[in-house]
Chains A and B, each alone.
Chain A
Amino acid sequence: MTPGAADGGAAGGAASHLSRLRSRHLLSAADLTAEEVLLILDTAGAMREVGTRPIKKVPALRGKTVVNLFFEPSTRTRTSFEIAEKRLSADALNISAATSSLVKGETLADTARNLEAMAPDIIVVRHQASGACHMLADICSSRIVNAGDGMHEHPTQALLDLLTIRDHKSTFAGLKVAIVGDLLHSRVMRSNVVLLTMLGADVWVCGPPTMMPAGIGRLGVTATSSLDAAVDGADVIMMLRIQLERMSGHFFPSLREYHELFGLSRARLARARPDVIVMHPGPLNRGVEIASDVADGPYSVILEQVSNGVALRMAVLYLIAGVTEGVD
């Protein structure tokens, strides 16, 4: 019997479901099982209610210190985590690269050891190098949550995307999801492909061949450079942000041609299913990867993604905090 649930007869009931994650870190979506993904989504669904209360705060993480260690600027993700932490009553501390000793030439490992000495419970990490979170997890005893590492993964973004999709679609199985844009450099794409294929979606990735990672077919997706083919009959269209500096790497010749070939316009959208939803992890380049009337149009769920982000991150922090390793 669980001590905390001692008031009730805790046995029986909803035990068919998983009730916790296996790992104390969230380093990559690829480490999750389908059941764990559903647990996170269910928990996030319940967390949404907290955001509707007059007092938007629960004491679940009271007295816990969560450090948001951001080596890359990211207002959106950092704010989302910070609100999630505050709603769970954690003590949230923001460290950004501009104020860290990193600019003084300290290594990531040393930064981690110094933080570790101050014993935070959870460290949320955003870093420009793929694998940086894995490195921190090896060094620190704190729990690590990946908030985006280089071109590798951005698991909480993909999970909030899934939460948003689930709000609109009854199931993931067989859903045609088109992910469009700079696939090569996109950690959002990688995490989404891992989770969506795991849950049985029919995932199409679309972008110019210059931005198509080698060996992408082995990820279980259909790759195409035809936006029409990708959008045709799609249930979900996920547009990726194009980094304007990519033009200098010979990835595409001009924004005009990029928009012409890979920008989502109303006309293009007509090929999708009538109940299609359009997503974008933000920030938007209006008129480049997405036309304004699509971004602001009736199919757009872009702002829902943002609100879901808070609930999803509350769920992740709560579940990560609850992992008791090595007790059973």
Chain B
Amino acid sequence: MPVVMEAGRISRALMRIAHEIVERNRDVEKLALVGIRTRGVPLARRIADNLHGIVDRELPLGMLDITLYRDDLMRHTVGPQPLLRHTEIPFSIDDRHILLVDDVLYTGRTIRAALDALVDFGRPQAIQLVVLVDRGHRELPIKADYVGKNLPTAVRESVQVRLVETDGADEVLIQQPAEEELT
């Protein structure tokens, strides 16, 4: 499985994103981060740490499980139903600039679900999207504001982000379809 980002590149990308965030947002005190479960959460935490280093400020951090906002329940999709996990947004999102963080941007459906979910928590002034990898193939009109790496892929390939917090190591992999699927 080819590694397309190793630990160093991931770390540099997250630092660059933190700087871009500061450049684009004058009112740093209005910022808050919301990571999409699972891997958006550690990424959001790392970006928050980076921002703390830059602006010396502790930004509010939440985690969002979008399972209840998915559009494929009861649609007889193959494969397991995602496990419902806790959503924790321990601050009011009203009038804030929310940085929504996820690992991979692909069809855009997860982000659509996350936007619906966020709106149920209040009325943020703005939502900006942060992703580590944009692999293309959008099915919805959604675009990221901050991208760690643009990664052209084929639909049949899959992109895996692995992080120390969840998987024991930092790397981004491209997985080719299994042999039997090719034949």
Contacts and interface: CB of A to CB of B under 8 A. Distances in A.
Interface residues of B, number: 49
Contacts of A61: 73-74
B103 A9 contact: yes
A19 B80 contact: yes
A42 interface: yes
B74 A46 contact: no
B104 A59 contact: no
B24 interface: no
B88 A322 contact: no
A39 B173 CA distance: 30
Contacts of B105: 7
B119 to A, nearest CB: 8
B53 interface: no
Given A8-B103, A121-B74, A20 B81 contact: yes
B84 A318 contact: yes
B86 A4 contact: no
Interface in A73-113: 88
A2 B78 CA distance: 7
Interface in A31-81: 39, 42-43, 45-47, 49-50, 53-55, 57-61, 64
A2 B73 CA distance: 12
Interface in B151-176: 158-162, 166-167, 173
Interface string A313-328: 0010011011110011
Most buried by B among A1, A5, A47, A327: A5
B62 to A, nearest CB: 11
B121 A47 contact: no
* Shortest beta-carbon contacts, A-B, top 6: A7-B110, A9-B160, A58-B68, A322-B81, A60-B68, A4-B72
A2 B80 contact: yes
Instruction: Give the dominant DSSP class at A's interface.
Output: loop
Interface stretch (A10-18, A203-211, A284-292): A10-18
Interface of A: 1-9, 11-14, 17, 19-20, 39, 42-43, 45-47, 49-50, 53-55, 57-61, 64, 88, 121, 315, 318-319, 321-324, 327-328
B78 A328 contact: yes
Given A7-B107, A8-B161, A13-B38, A19 B83 contact: yes
A321 to B, nearest CB: 5
B85 interface: yes
Contacts of A319: 81
Given A2-B82, A54-B122, A7 B72 contact: no
Nearest to B94: A54
A45 B88 CA distance: 12
Given A14-B38, A49-B87, A7 B106 contact: yes
Interface in B66-80: 67-74, 76-80
Contacts of B81: 19-20, 319, 322-324
Interface in B120-152: 120-122
For A7, A13, A20, A315, which residue has the most chain B Cβ atoms within 10 angstroms?
A7
B162 A4 contact: no
Contacts of A11: 158, 160
Given A8-B161, A12-B160, A324-B76, A46 B110 contact: no
Given A46-B65, A324-B78, 8 more contacts: A4-B82, A8-B39, A8-B103, A54-B121, A58-B68, A59-B116, A318-B68, A321-B74
